[in-house]
Structure 1
Amino acid sequence: MHVERQIKLVTEQHNIPKPSPMPEFPMKEWSVKIYVLDQANNEHPATCFTKVIYNLHPSFEEKTHQTFTEPPFTCANEGWGEFEMSIDLFTTEKGGKTTVYHDLNFQSPSYEVIQSVTFKNPSQSLLAILRETGPIPNEDDSKVAAKARKANDLKKKKAVCDFEKMADALGKLGEEDLLQVIQMIHDYKNEDTYIKNDVDAGEFTVDLYTMPDLLAKMIWDFLVEIKVVS
């Protein structure tokens, strides 16, 4: 599964009163922040990333690679020159690293750049975060398919017997016949069969629709045999 999201890089810059090594280029204070956009282009904290590394111009020397772990992953520095930086975006996924490139320039006090980022085979925890900013591909189709399968299973079960008649008949059984039905349920239920046995209250409950077809057919045939349903 691949999930795509838009990220926004917000750059702000202004002159500062510090001497520049290049007199014709004033010193600047600049910053870059990262946000995730939803389908309406609203900004959200980029919590889908756990770490961001800005790879700056080599002239920054020991500060060339700067790491941030909290949204909006603000990278703030001083300098006089424009350059293209690469930005590594990390998630907790295996191989979860994406690199984008950003042009740092001083043409305006602030500017925004939108780029696409693809998340490959995100985990359930990352999917939960990504849902906050947009749909997950094929997820709606999967839900529809699951609903259709459930409806089809229910239809098949109804074809085995009439559960409404069964429920009504079970409520009218005498103690001996009822105990025989309960024993059938215990003997032939499966892991999906929901039962509740309240010994203190003398109550036994079963969700008829969760019984396997074989068990439902056995109970139905028994009810037919003792002539409480037809």
Structure 2
Amino acid sequence: MGNEINIPTIDVNIRVKAQQVIKDDQSSCTGELPVRRWKVELCMLNEKDEEVVLDIVSACIFYLHPTFKEPVRKFRQPPFMLEEEGWGEFDMDIVCHFIENVGKFTIKHLLSFEHNAIGIDYAIKVPCHTPLIREYLSKNFELPDATFDKEQEKTISQAQLKSWINLIPKLDEDSVTEIVQLILRHPAVQAEVNKRERHDDFVMGLYQLPNELLQTIGDYILHGNEQDDL
């Protein structure tokens, strides 16, 4: 496995759909721009370019122009749809968080009144290494295998991993901190962290850690418990 941790991803298109209409109940004054009702909604495109529910996202935050009374709007379930009214076009950031806390992505979208209705597609990469997000993605996409280290499968069983994990709550705070540092100091983990933006969130499964790192963690957990028993 070397000094790399491969988090499998797939390419997905997110569609931002916008609709707008000029309000009827307003006076027409020379030199004033008409006020419009508008809405913006997000969906996902499957492999056939069909619109499907954006169920791989747990929350979307819309950052509007600061002149709005509430310029930050958060939605926690699909459909991620924002409805508002105003006269001006502006750029908005839409920050979307994946389910299972595997990361987030940002769409920079221009709210334009050039068309009454329009859909604009944005290409993103979606991590597909955790169970729930794989389950949701598999309904609409062919997924790459969640690769395992074959040598790791031979030497460290799921039962061993589970037994080590069950011992962690029995360790003191310093020991738990040391385990975290063992993981963060490993070159493979550092290399993966360095690929990310500073404030990006992502999740690694235990099975993705190098075999020798898992063995070191297991030895430390067992050694710590042996010391406690002396």
TM range (shorter): 0.5 to 0.7
Deviations 1:62-95 (A, max 9, x none): x100011221211000000001100001123345
- Amino acid of the residue matched to residue 35 of structure 1? C
Runs (4 or more) in structure 1 with deviation over 4 Å come to 19-23
Distance (whole Å) between structure 1 residues aligned to residue 35 and residue 102 of structure 2: 38
1:71 to 50, 69, 78: 78
**CA RMSD after TM alignment:** 2.3
Distance (whole Å) between structure 2 residues aligned to residue 22 and residue 45 of structure 1: 43
Partner of 1:46: 54
Q: 1:5 offset after TM fit, Å? A: 1.0
Of stretches 120-129 and 106-115 in structure 1, the one that deviates more from structure 2 is 120-129
SS at match of 1:88: strand
Q: 1:138 offset after TM fit, Å? A: 4.0
Q: Which entry has the higher C-alpha Rg, 1 or 2?
A: 1
Does structure 1 conserve the Cα–Cα contact (< 8 Å) formed by 2:128 and 2:134? Answer: no
Does structure 2 conserve the Cα–Cα contact (< 8 Å) formed by 1:51 and 1:67? Answer: yes
The size of the alignment, in residue pairs, is 140
Distance (whole Å) between structure 2 residues aligned to residue 14 and residue 38 of structure 1: 29
> For the structure 1 residues 19 and 90, does the alpha-carbon distance in structure 2 shift closer, same or farther, using more than 3 Å as the test?
farther
Distance (whole Å) between structure 2 residues aligned to residue 70 and residue 21 of structure 1: 40
1:120 to 127, 132, 137: 127
- 5+ residue gaps, structure 2, are 1-7, 151-230
Does structure 2 conserve the Cα–Cα contact (< 8 Å) formed by 1:20 and 1:80? Answer: no
Deviations 1:46-69 (A, max 9, x none): 1111110100001113x1000112
Partner of 2:223: none
Partner of 2:136: 129
**Identity over aligned pairs, percent:** 25
1:37-186 equivalent positions in 2, closer than 5 A: 37-61=45-69, 63-94=70-101, 96-138=103-145
> For the structure 1 residues 40 and 109, does the alpha-carbon distance in structure 2 shift closer, same or farther, using more than 3 Å as the test?
same
Q: 1:135 offset after TM fit, Å? A: 1.1
Does structure 1 conserve the Cα–Cα contact (< 8 Å) formed by 2:19 and 2:39? Answer: yes
2:32 to 24, 30, 54: 24
Q: Which structure has more RCO (C-alpha within 8 Å, separation ≥ 6)?
A: 2
Deviations 1:23-56 (A, max 9, x none): 4310000001111111111111111111101000
Distance (whole Å) between structure 2 residues aligned to residue 103 and residue 84 of structure 1: 4
SS at match of 2:135: helix
- 5+ residue gaps, structure 1, are 147-230
Does structure 2 conserve the Cα–Cα contact (< 8 Å) formed by 1:20 and 1:27? Answer: no
